[in-house]
Amino acid sequence: MIRGFRSFLIDFSLVILVGLAVYVLSFGDSFSSIIQLPNSVFHMNTIFLSILIEALPFVLIGVLIAGIIQIFVTEDHIKRWIPKNPILAIIMSCFVGALFPACECGIVPIVRRLLAKGVPIHAGIGFLLTGPLINPLVILSTYMAFGNDFKIAASRMILGFLIAVLISIIISVMFKSNQLKHTIEVQQTHTISHNHGSQSIFSKLGHTVTHAVDEFFDMGKYLIVGALLAAFVQTYVSSEALLELGSGQVSSTAVMMGLAYLLSLCSEADAFIAASFSNVFPTTAILGFLIYGPMTDLKNTMMMLSVFKTRFVILFVLIVTIVVFSVLTLLDGFY
């Protein structure tokens, strides 16, 4: 308990310090009159804030759902719901993810709780990939961003689903255990969850909120670091220089995937950025931006590193990169 309180105190202090730093940079007139910072620092701070404001509502929804899963979903429920056949489990998880409106930040705490409850890693990854990529809000925003043209939205939905299934199958072959970093915490949460069965509904709701708050502070620090890195890249790495590299069919897909990873845009809004490149790059490169970004990006990688083993995260990013790039390159002639 003392260890948990110490961890909470450190996380809370970090959030307060970051909040103070942002306040000083944004509204501290006396501070700015003493120390003159370059305009680029203030620009980076603005981008950092915009990423946080955009991501926080989805993270809050994600940690609340994670709290509900922790208290109300038992291991027996999971055993009944998830098919034993890995392929059927992957397809089912990808379908459920496709119907679940969550961004790439909010989906991480949900998947962590599902894996802790006994969901196999391949099913968890299928849910993690399709949730932010092809949920109804993302498809609607893609349809609207490309001038009510359903071709790009349908391609994103169908190709994204097939690629997610393919990646999940590869993960099922390569990894058998849940790959969570904190196995001790998982064991503890299993023990605690068994004790919730005899509690009243109000007590369960109270524990749900407690778990959601813990999850928020646990995830929040990695979201802050990831958002800061993404803001730094957007401020100091010239997108024009990257675009000059994408002159060919293959290189343009690689460049757009790289942009999607570095910019770390929310999947509900990235289609409007992608649409601005539609006159510059071919369709496969645009799809690379739209499919690869929601599956993995800079801030999402930081959050995954807090949950999963480092080796798994590195291999996961490599597998997603290779599969998305290979599939889109093979389909280049069809667009």
Query: What mean pLDDT, rounded, does the chain reach?
Result: 81
* Prediction pTM value: 0.78
Dihedral Cα 259, 260, 262, 267, nearest 10 deg: 150
Report which of residues 237 and 157 the model is more confident about.
157
Phi, psi (deg, nearest 5) at residue 48: -55, -45
pLDDT at 132 over 50: yes
Distance between CA 194 and CA 196 in Å, rounded? 6
Distance between CA 318 and CA 214 in Å, rounded? 30
pLDDT of residue 303: 86
pLDDT of residue 310: 93
Say if CB 152 and CB 280 are below 8 A apart: no
pLDDT of residue 216: 80
Amino acid at 315: L
State which of 113-127, 157-171, 191-205 shows the largest mean pLDDT.
Answer: 157-171
The model's pLDDT over 32-68, given as tens digits with 9 standing for 90+, comes to 666 677 788 888 888 888 887 877 787 788 788 878 8
Say if CB 216 and CB 63 are below 8 A apart: yes
pLDDT at 187 over 50: no
Report which of residues 332 and 157 the model is more confident about.
157
The model's pLDDT over 222-245, given as tens digits with 9 standing for 90+, comes to 778 778 887 887 788 776 676 676
The model's pLDDT over 266-311, given as tens digits with 9 standing for 90+, comes to 887 788 888 878 877 889 999 999 999 999 988 889 889 988 999 9
With CA atoms as reference, report the closest residue to 83 among 75, 93, 73.
93
The model's pLDDT over 83-108, given as tens digits with 9 standing for 90+, comes to 889 999 999 999 888 887 777 777 88
Distance between CA 163 and CA 225 in Å, rounded? 29
Beta bridge partners of 5: none
Which H or E run includes 188? helix 183-194
